[in-house]
């Protein structure tokens, strides 16, 4: 019988490397595809960032992916999605920041690039399936959390549609990270001890504020203590701050912990509050739009995450007619942030999610958000 062909996204990291090994063991014909999504010369920095070896991180990732594929006797193709990434992900990222929101570009990358553009390219290579190194599982058409709760990545898959999940494989979804590392070491892969990538892919290890000022000019403004309405300092541009942020405010004068609690775009004001239990940080509901629902039927009680690393929070859902949902959590939750994803869960199953449009307390929009 002819082997089924799987095209796997090879990122140059340990997860996709081991996913390729698992697929080989399962008897598939495996083909690697490396995606180049960002032009490091496009960000206004001379020659872009470099690694210790003197090359840009993306090229180092490609070299690592190539070394793994050569060791596993897997062909590796390379495809540029720089324009598509700019049009569908980076432009969205900048527009959201301009509107005072906190976007999650990795979610849009999965929706538009990895499970759309990548899938189309994989089909040109004759793929029966596509695969990635995500810590997630698919069972009977349902998206389930990865077995490793510390690495579960279903949050970032919440905007991928049911149709996009057809013929998708997550080879390491039922594995834990130490096991993945062990397999990579057994195969003596160059990625075995490679550090996991963190943060936004096109920024990498660079300073976020320095990167951003290449695209959005800093406009300094007042920082106001929302409890006292006093001006206590200056900010360096509202796009550099997110709701709930504590570090990097560079405002002195108090021993209490300070948190970003709101933004006024018209007045160019950043609001902060004192104390992590400050009532201004708490909301009790939010409106979520752009909802991508993956469940069989719409339910009214489930759990949700408003940030990736957050614990599951019990919520009630009131479905609207315009692909929006009112998410209620009367117990109160801190630092729910416009622009971030709200992702729904029913036990192990990820039901999809949407983007936080408006944050409320006791049914009223918070004026400072």
Clarify whether 69 is annotated catalytic. no
Q: Report CA torsion sign: 120, 123, 128, 129.
A: negative
Q: What is the pTM of this model?
A: 0.93
| For residue 159, pLDDT beyond 80 | yes
How are the residues of the chain apportioned to helix, strand and coil, as percentages rounded to the nearest 5?
25, 30, 45
Question: How confident is the model over 40-58, as pLDDT tens digits?
Answer: 665 554 344 555 555 667 7
| Confidence grade of residue 63 (pLDDT, cut at 50, 70, 90) | very high
Given 56, 69, 158, 201, which residue is catalytic?
Answer: 201
| For residue 250, pLDDT beyond 70 | yes
Residue 47's pLDDT is what?
44
Place of tokens 């695209």: 215
Residue 206's pLDDT is what?
65
Number of H helices, E strands in the chain: 8, 18
In this prediction, residues 234-245 reach a mean pLDDT of 95
Question: How confident is the model over 125-137, as pLDDT tens digits?
Answer: 999 999 999 999 9
Q: In what order do the strands lie in the sheet with 269-274?
A: 230-235, 221-225, 269-274, 258-264
What structural domains and CATH numbers belong to the chain? Answer: 5-186 (3.40.50.620), 218-274 (2.30.30.280), 281-365 (2.40.30.10)
Higher pLDDT: 205 or 152? It is 152
State the pairing for strand pair 129-131/168-169.
parallel
Clarify whether 109 is annotated catalytic. yes
| For residue 9, pLDDT beyond 90 | yes
Residue 369's pLDDT is what?
85
């Amino acid at each position: 019988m002819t082997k089924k062909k799987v095209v796997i996204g090879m990122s140059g990291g340990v997860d996709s490397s081991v996913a390729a090994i698992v697929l080989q063991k399962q008897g598939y014909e495996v083909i690697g595809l490396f995606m180049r999504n960002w032009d490091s010369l496009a960000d206004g920095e001379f020659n872009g960032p470099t690694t210790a070896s003197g090359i840009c991180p993306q090229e180092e990732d490609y070299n690592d992916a190539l070394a793994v594929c050569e060791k596993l006797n897997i062909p590796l193709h390379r495809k540029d999605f720089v324009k598509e990434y700019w049009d569908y992900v980076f432009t969205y990222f900048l527009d959201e920041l301009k509107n005072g929101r906190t976007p999650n570009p990795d979610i849009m990358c999965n929706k538009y690039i990895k499970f759309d553009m990548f899938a189309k390219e994989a089909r040109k290579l004759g793929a029966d399936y596509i695969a990635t190194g995500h810590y997630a599982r698919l069972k009977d058409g349902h998206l389930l959390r990865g077995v490793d709760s510390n690495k579960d990545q279903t949050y970032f898959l919440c905007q991928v549609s049911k149709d996009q999940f057809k013929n998708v494989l997550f080879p390491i979804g039922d594995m834990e990270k130490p096991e993945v590392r062990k397999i990579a070491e057994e195969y003596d892969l160059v990625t075995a001890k490679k550090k996991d990538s963190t943060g936004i892919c096109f920024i990498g290890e660079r300073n976020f504020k320095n990167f951003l000022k290449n695209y959005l000019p800093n406009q300094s403004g007042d920082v106001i203590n929302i409890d006292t309405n006093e001006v206590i300092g200056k900010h360096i541009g509202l796009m550099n701050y997110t709701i709930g942020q504590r570090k990097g405010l560079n405002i002195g004068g108090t021993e209490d912990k300070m948190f970003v609690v709101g933004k006024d775009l018209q007045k160019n004001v950043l609001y902060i509050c004192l104390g992590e239990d400050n009532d201004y940080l708490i909301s009790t509901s939010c409106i979520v739009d752009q909802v991508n629902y993956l469940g069989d039927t719409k339910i009214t009680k489930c759990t949700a995450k408003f940030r990736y690393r957050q614990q599951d929070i019990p919520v009630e859902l009131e479905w609207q007619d315009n692909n929006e949902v009112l998410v209620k959590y009367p117990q109160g939750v801190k630092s729910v942030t416009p622009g971030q994803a709200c992702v729904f869960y029913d036990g192990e199953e990820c039901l999809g999610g949407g983007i936080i449009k408006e944050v409320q307390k006791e049914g009223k929009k918070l004026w400072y958000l």
